[in-house]
Structure 1
């Protein structure tokens, strides 16, 4: 019994020391962490990405020399012009007039030794940053849809540029330092002498129209099409594709949703319609940022699946539209969708509508050369048309009307004349010119 107390003391001492040692080990313990590499989601590209200058391209150029007009809508010519402009130094950019009259615009364009480049939509100056070198660090938050180049003083290596906005009725001007002005004359001005003769169609109190004077030949194309699997768009547009539910509503309608956003397919129109309601916003976005955000959103997933070009902006809706082109001509249809639309919301996309097909290859045996009336002849017939007044239209253009054969999965592109009126494209058929109404978006 006399040893019990000493034994208890020893055991208690050992327990206390063990507790101290264990506490020390816990405090000083450093786990052997293994390095975990950061993983990122696999990038999805539906088609190759493009540059801004691929999307912003003119549809027509006219040249005034020796009091005569020539012009072209050639896709190759437009590409070459834009390449020639690349690297030009814009020495200044100053406002000249913010209340342009139609007659003043006509006078500027009709002056000798000037070329005018026509764009479908109003373009922010910042969109030309990849083409021109602006000396001004802060560009004005305004737009233009016609660019006029005056080469009267090219011997002094001095060109003058004018920028006209039809929407804002504004005019800007800048001096240009061209690295090689002789190259500009050789590659842009000299070839213009061999272009088609164009005529100014004057309209009282309106800006003039500029159309080809001679009959035109264009090619009718037939293409096999490739449907882009909706799963690709599902993986791009939804943050967690694995939880997305697919519902077949009917033979021509499918819906995909994750509870927050909705993607709808119309298999007849070959269209995809995506909406994220939580992003809806009424805050107006400046044109330069709107174009940048819209372009980057589509380009990040390779969404420019064909020759889509910037077509128009609706600032009040934060909306940007891109039109399908073929061989440099716009494509319109009642049967399939040929335009991409984005509506920007609160820091992200709110609404995205687009076709989900791409052109595979043209059927060589189906090509057919079509002869079309001259632009001047169409303008004359419009003067006598019952449904369309020449004074009401914004532009007269050559384009393609698209029809489809669903059974063979082929598209036919028929060349024809269109007018633009209030943002709506109207196919000019004999019935339209003769008084029967027939319009299309």
Structure 2
């Protein structure tokens, strides 16, 4: 019994020391963070990101010299023109007409030593901030879809530009100081002498149309197509992809939802339509902000999965459209979706409709040269039609008509003439044109 007290004291001492040691270890412990697994989400890119000037590009340029029009729709020529614009010093930007008449616009274009660059959609001036050097820091919140460039004073290293808006009927004028005017003439103006002749189609009370005067040779392609992974779009569009549920509605329709938003997939048209109802807004957004928000939304996830061009804006709906192009020509189809549409809502995307396929590669052995009638021949035929009035037409263009190859992952893309009316395309079929030869039979 006499050893019990010393034993208790010894045990108590050991426990106190153990407590001290453990406390010291806890206080001085540093975890080895290099073994902690990183849980940050990864950025999803469906395709490569692009610059804004890749999707804002003209589709046609015409030149007036010695009382004759020449012009081009060449993809490489459009790139050269946009490259030539880079670094231009815009010395002033003056509004000279808030309701310019079509006849006055026609006269501006018709004057000698002028070139006119045509854009499909209305372009906010801020979209050219990375291309032009504007002297005015505060740009007008307005748009243009034609640039008329007067090069008659290029020897003085100066150009005059008229910015025309078809939608707003506005006209602004500016002057450009060129560091190397001779290079601009040699790179942009001189090649126009080798371009094909264009014909002005005058329309009483409307701006003129400008069509190629000679027959056109183009190439019919057959392309393999590649389906973009719907799983990637699910991760891009939904806040928490893990709670998204899918449901097959029919043989051609599938739906994805997280209870707040909905993505509908149409396998026949190879399109998806995403909507977030809570973001719906009737507040009108300024064109510059609308274009910037739409472009950044798509570009952040690499959504420009082909040569998509900005083609139209509906400011009343906060809607922007981008059209698929191939070799510089628009691609239209009633068998597959070839247009991307964004509707901007309350500080975020409200609706996003787009194709979920891309043109993978063409089959060289399937290429075929097609000869199309001249633009003037097409205009003559349109005059005979009952369902198309020339004054209602926005543009007459050559584009690619996309059709599916039955039971194969292939698309045919055939060059055809189209009429653009109220932003919609109309295929000019042989029946409509009375059996026009040279490729439309």
Q: Structure 1 length as normaliser, TM-score? A: 0.90
The aligned counterpart of 2:412 is 412
**Aligned partners of 1:40 and 1:85: how far apart in 2?**
42
**Structure 1 residues 416-425 or 302-311, which shifts more?**
416-425
SS at match of 1:207: strand
Displacement of 1:394 in angstroms is 1.2
The aligned counterpart of 2:369 is 369
Displacement of 1:389 in angstroms is 1.2
CA deviation map 1:282-341 (0-9, x unaligned): 111100000000000000000000000001000011000000000000011000000000
The aligned counterpart of 1:216 is 216
The aligned counterpart of 1:129 is 129
1:81 aligns with 2:86: no
1:157 aligns with 2:145: no
The aligned counterpart of 1:13 is none
**Pairs aligned (count):** 416
**1:386–1:433 CA contact under 8 A, matched in 2:** no
The aligned counterpart of 1:337 is 337
The aligned counterpart of 2:359 is 359
Displacement of 1:272 in angstroms is 0.5
Displacement of 1:390 in angstroms is 1.1
1:138 aligns with 2:141: no
Displacement of 1:31 in angstroms is 8.7
Displacement of 1:431 in angstroms is 2.2
**Aligned partners of 1:280 and 1:307: how far apart in 2?**
29
CA deviation map 1:18-57 (0-9, x unaligned): 9xxx9xx9xxx89968878985310111110000010000
CA deviation map 1:188-222 (0-9, x unaligned): 00000000000101111111110100111111111
Q: Structure 2 length as normaliser, TM-score? A: 0.90
**Aligned partners of 2:241 and 2:406: how far apart in 1?**
29
**Structure 1 residues 349-358 or 130-139, which shifts more?**
130-139
**1:386–1:434 CA contact under 8 A, matched in 2:** no
CA deviation map 1:343-399 (0-9, x unaligned): 001111010000000111101111111111100111111112111111111111111
Q: RMSD over aligned Cα, in angstroms? A: 2.2
**Aligned partners of 1:63 and 1:197: how far apart in 2?**
10
Displacement of 1:424 in angstroms is 1.6
**1:387–1:432 CA contact under 8 A, matched in 2:** no
The aligned counterpart of 2:307 is 307
The aligned counterpart of 1:174 is 174
1:242 aligns with 2:253: no
**Aligned partners of 1:347 and 1:391: how far apart in 2?**
39
The aligned counterpart of 2:272 is 272
SS at match of 1:433: coil
**Structure 1 residues 132-141 or 332-341, which shifts more?**
132-141
Displacement of 1:434 in angstroms is 4.7
**Aligned partners of 2:260 and 2:429: how far apart in 1?**
45
Unaligned runs of 5+ in 2: 1-15, 436-441
CA deviation map 1:147-171 (0-9, x unaligned): 1110000000010111000000000
**Aligned partners of 1:266 and 1:37: how far apart in 2?**
39
| Distance change in 2, residues 1:37/1:107 (3 Å) | farther
**Structure 1 residues 337-346 or 424-433, which shifts more?**
424-433
| Distance change in 2, residues 1:105/1:353 (3 Å) | same
The aligned counterpart of 1:206 is 206
Displacement of 1:271 in angstroms is 0.2
**Aligned partners of 1:391 and 1:318: how far apart in 2?**
27
Displacement of 1:104 in angstroms is 0.2
**Aligned partners of 2:157 and 2:100: how far apart in 1?**
29
Displacement of 1:430 in angstroms is 2.5
The aligned counterpart of 2:42 is 42
CA deviation map 1:72-109 (0-9, x unaligned): 00001101111111111111111010111111000000
Displacement of 1:407 in angstroms is 1.5
| Distance change in 2, residues 1:247/1:162 (3 Å) | same
4+ long deviations beyond 3 Å: 29-40
